[in-house]
Amino acid sequence: MSSSFRLPHGWHPTIIIAQIIALQCLHYLVLSLIVPPLLSLFANQYALAYEGGAANVGMVMDWREMVGRATLREPRGRGWSGFSNSGAWSGGVKLGGDTGQEEAWVDPVRSWLISICWLVASTADVYFLYILVRRPTHILDFALTLILNHTILTTYYARSLPTSLFFWLIMALGAVISVVGAEQLCVKREMREGIEMAGEEQEEGVELERRD
């Protein structure tokens, strides 16, 4: 009796991790290509300059930019240590701090543009999932993993958990777009490949009968 440990069929950790990283990087690449030009064209330039410009990484990584909440760029501690100074929110309103001055730099147009860009990137994920993942049964897992990773990264960057319902609605809508689209394409490919294989087997069977 063999005591060797065997991995489940089709489960390769190295490949899965590589697929997750590739999908995450491609998603952010699409965002980095479309967010800055759109913000430069349509967003309030004064408010945008206050936030660090259209190419600021926070336009992609800070969930508050997506929901139209004020952000502070001054140093308040690094990483998770900044949570204690991040302030409190109640009913979508920040408690404490110079709220009036912060709200003056909030641009609703910028919020909508970033949200639309996220959905566009989710649409591009349909192709990435189709190429990288291929199996329709794995599409949902990879799409949800992308959102989980982004939630962790944006929480770390903003030093606060996403508390906006709008943020989660955009995440859910993006997931639906990528999952439904990618699954449909993958299923069609499997059906097409199955029909082609069946046709080839039938042709081989006919040839064997003729030889007999």
Give tens-digit pLDDT for 144-172: 999 999 999 999 999 999 999 999 999 99
Q: What is the pLDDT of residue 104?
A: 59
Are the C-beta atoms of residues 38 and 119 closer than 8 Å to each other?
no
**Which of 11-15, 53-57, 112-116, 205-209 has the weakest average pLDDT?**
205-209
> Does residue 8 sit within a domain?
no
> Does residue 6 sit within a domain?
no
> Does residue 5 sit within a domain?
no
Q: What is the pLDDT of residue 49?
A: 87
Q: What is the pLDDT of residue 1?
A: 44
> Does residue 73 sit within a domain?
yes
For residue 93, what are the β-bridge partners? 90
> Does residue 3 sit within a domain?
no
- Residue 52 neighbours by CB distance under 10 Å: 13
> Residue 3 — pLDDT band, cuts 50, 70, 90?
very low
Q: What is the pLDDT of residue 52?
A: 87
109-138 core/surface letters (b: 16 or more CB in 10 A; e: else): ebbebbbebbebbbebbbebbbebbeebeb
> Does residue 4 sit within a domain?
no
State the DSSP H helix or E strand holding residue 168, giving kind and residue range, or none if neither: helix 165-211
Question: What is the domain range of residue 206?
Answer: 13-211
Alpha helices, H only, 83-138: 99-103, 108-132
| Pairing state between β 93-95 and 88-90 | antiparallel
69 token code pair = 């909440």
pTM attached to this predicted model:
0.76
CA distance 107 to 82: 25
Domain total in the chain: 1
> Does residue 25 sit within a domain?
yes
Q: pLDDT tens-digit profile of 67-117?
A: 988 886 554 444 555 554 455 444 444 545 555 555 656 888 999 999 999
19 token code pair = 């697929």
The helix/strand/coil state of 93 is strand
Q: What is the average pLDDT across 190-196?
A: 78
Side-chain-side CA neighbours of residue 68 (13 Å): 14
Q: What is the pLDDT of residue 84?
A: 47
For residue 94, what are the β-bridge partners? 89
